[in-house]
Amino acid sequence: MENYPETLKTILNDEAYEYRRDSFLAFLKSPVRDYKESPTVKDYVEISDKDLEKMIYGEIPDTAGNIIFDQDADIKIINDEVTASEQLLKKGVIACDMITAISQHKSLIEKYLIPRHGSERIEHLINSSWRNGLFIYVPENTKLKIKIHNLSDAASSFAYKSAIICGKDSAVELIDIYESTGSGRGIQGKNVYFFLDEYSKVKYHYLQDKLDTVTDITFVKQYQDKFSEFSFFHINHGSSRVLFANESRQFGASSDYRVYGVNFSTGSQKMDIRDSSFQEGIGSSADIQVRGVVTGSSSTIHRGNIDLEEIAIKSSGFYDSKILLLSRDGYANSKPGLMIKNNDTRSKHGSSISNVDEEQIFYLRSRGIDLNTATGMVTAGFVGSIIEKANNQEFTKKVYEYAEGLGINAFLGTN
């Protein structure tokens, strides 16, 4: 990685070069943790510098396997190539790839993207090395629904960056699905940034169901102006290693941030799911609820900080994590955090890790339901309370399928 600045100059010498260079410097300056995350492991999801190198230099095969896009998708993305539908563009929306946006929508890029470099080490690296990405600008007072279907070759490795800007008073519902084609062990990183102008509303449905050989690294950030509302429903099901870090940047007064997340780790998957709020706006609120299900020899860690800054008076922040540990060989961890820097706030966090409730299983079995089905049903109920808030039938159906499919592999403490 030492020669990477050369690469920045030669391969990625575009109009975002200054930004890329500053991001790379920020990456170099970011401290590398020198202590173990737990007595047994250094990192819950280990991503080596070699992996990162593979991601930033990029490896994209010529063919992308059998490509079948969702016909309803407004934006179709294969690896890092973006195609937006004509219908979407007719609505006055700007939807293009990032490279195009950098050259054709400079003022928007300078206003929203350039001042922000992220906060985490790998996030900085993706900001310096993205090959392409999705750029969406929704003008003021626009209401619309956009479905995005991302397909990537499992063998491809790349860094990807998206920006979605929602103008004042706009209301957007985004459905964003990430899946794989082909086979391989790609390292795929992405930063997805939302910029919510005042009074705008975003409902974001995210589903990651890539092949279980791929490593998926995702940073999602929301920069929220006053009275904006962001609702986020995320599901992580695929990939062998998942590092998913979602954090709000609520600088606007009375901004509202709600997160409902579900993740399933099976086989030998490792998932590090982070959902945090960073609140600087007066009267801002954050409510995060995450559910995880662990089977096989997989592992899941849920982390989440509620960070209420000194000026964020009259604000509230809540974090709730629950993990079902249905495996003898798997493990589950939680690291919720509160960072409260003024006293005129309300905040709370809670976390629990356990097997399914014996009484619930007993009840279902006494009604003639076999153990596997009963386990699937209880698991579906466990995640159902979260996913039904999304009010998205396609997602709800998928989650129930995932949940019910786990019953066969589950280990119950009751037997």
Partner 1 sequence: MESEYSKDAEMEKLLEDLRTSGIRKEDWEFHDSHKPTYSTGIGINRKVVEEISDIKNEPDWMRRFRLKSLEIFLAKPVPTWGPDLSGIDWENTNYYTRPDEVNANKWEDVPDEIKDTFTKLGVPEMEQKYLAGSVAQYDSEGVYHNLKKVWEDKGVVFMDLDSAIREHSDLVKDYFCRAVPATDNKFAALNGAAWSGGSFLYVPKGVHIDMPLQTYFRMNGEATGQFEHTIVVADEGSKVHYIEGCTAPKYDRNSLHSAIVEIYVKKNAQARYTSVQNWSKSVYNMPTKRAWVDENAKMEWVGGSLGSKVTMLYPSSYLRGPYASAHNLNVSLAGPGTVKDTGAKALHLAPYTSSRIVAKSISIEDGKAIYRGLLRMNKGAIHSKSHVQCDALLINDKSQSFTYPHDEIYEPTATFGHEATVGRIGTEELTYLRSRGLSEDEASSMIVLGFLDDVMKEIPMEFAVEMNRLIKLEMGKLGAVG
Q: How far is the CB of 76 from partner 1 (least distance, A)?
A: 41
Size of the site for partner 1 (CB under 8 A): 39
- Of the ranges 7-15, 122-130, 218-226, 346-354, which one interacts with partner 1 (CB under 8 A)? 346-354
Binding of partner 1 at residue 338 (CB under 8 A)? yes
Binding of partner 1 at residue 370 (CB under 8 A)? no
Q: Which residues of 36-75 are buried (b: 16+ CB within 10 A; e: fewer)?
A: ebeeeeeebbebeeebbebbbbbebeeebbeeeeeeebbb
Helix (H, G, I), strand (E, B) or coil at 298: coil
Q: How far is the CB of 198 from partner 1 (least distance, A)?
A: 27
What's the angle, vertex CA 253, arms to CA 251 and CA 254, rounded to 5?
A: 120
Query: For residues 243-262, which are near partner 1 according to CB under 8 A?
Result: none
Q: What are the angstrom distances between the C-alpha of 62 and each of 9, 156, 182, 409? A: 24, 10, 12, 37
Q: Which of 156/300 has CB closer to partner 1?
A: 300
Binding of partner 1 at residue 348 (CB under 8 A)? yes
Binding of partner 1 at residue 96 (CB under 8 A)? no
d(CA 162, CA 82): 11
Asked if residue 98 lies in contact with residue 134, where contact means CB atoms within 8 angstroms, the answer is yes
Binding of partner 1 at residue 267 (CB under 8 A)? no
Binding of partner 1 at residue 355 (CB under 8 A)? yes
401: DSSP letter: H
Binding of partner 1 at residue 278 (CB under 8 A)? no
Binding of partner 1 at residue 350 (CB under 8 A)? yes
Q: How far is the CB of 317 from partner 1 (least distance, A)?
A: 9
d(CA 229, CA 203): 8
Query: For residues 17-46, which are near partner 1 according to CB under 8 A?
Result: 35, 38-39
Binding of partner 1 at residue 346 (CB under 8 A)? yes
Q: Which of 171/412 has CB closer to partner 1?
A: 412
Q: How far is the CB of 270 from partner 1 (least distance, A)?
A: 14
Residues 352, 362, 370, 385: which binds partner 1 (CB under 8 A)? Answer: 352
Residues 116, 117, 168, 335: which binds partner 1 (CB under 8 A)? Answer: 335
Residues 71, 87, 107, 343: which binds partner 1 (CB under 8 A)? Answer: 343
Q: Which of 34/62 has CB closer to partner 1?
A: 34
- Of the ranges 1-9, 160-168, 247-255, 320-328, which one interacts with partner 1 (CB under 8 A)? 320-328
Residues 344, 370, 388, 401: which binds partner 1 (CB under 8 A)? Answer: 344
SS3 for 159-226 is: EEEEEEEECCCCEEEEEEEEEEECCCCCEEEEEEEEEECCCCEEEEEEEEECCCCCEEEEEEEEEECC
Binding of partner 1 at residue 332 (CB under 8 A)? yes
Binding of partner 1 at residue 409 (CB under 8 A)? no
- For the chain, the residue count is 415
Helix then strand then coil, % of the chain, to nearest 5: 25, 40, 35
Residues 6, 310, 367, 368: which binds partner 1 (CB under 8 A)? Answer: 310
d(CA 157, CA 214): 9
Residues 194, 331, 382, 402: which binds partner 1 (CB under 8 A)? Answer: 331
Binding of partner 1 at residue 349 (CB under 8 A)? yes
Q: How far is the CB of 35 from partner 1 (least distance, A)?
A: 6
H-helix or E-strand containing 243?
A: strand 241-250
CB count within 10 Å of CB 265 equals 27
Binding of partner 1 at residue 333 (CB under 8 A)? yes
What's the angle, vertex CA 406, arms to CA 403 and CA 411, rounded to 5?
A: 130
Binding of partner 1 at residue 341 (CB under 8 A)? yes
d(CA 159, CA 16): 15
Q: Which of 213/414 has CB closer to partner 1?
A: 414
d(CA 122, CA 239): 18
End-to-end CA distance of the chain: 51
Q: How far is the CB of 304 from partner 1 (least distance, A)?
A: 11
List of residues contacting partner 1 (CB under 8 A): 35, 38-39, 310, 313, 323, 325-328, 330-355, 411-413
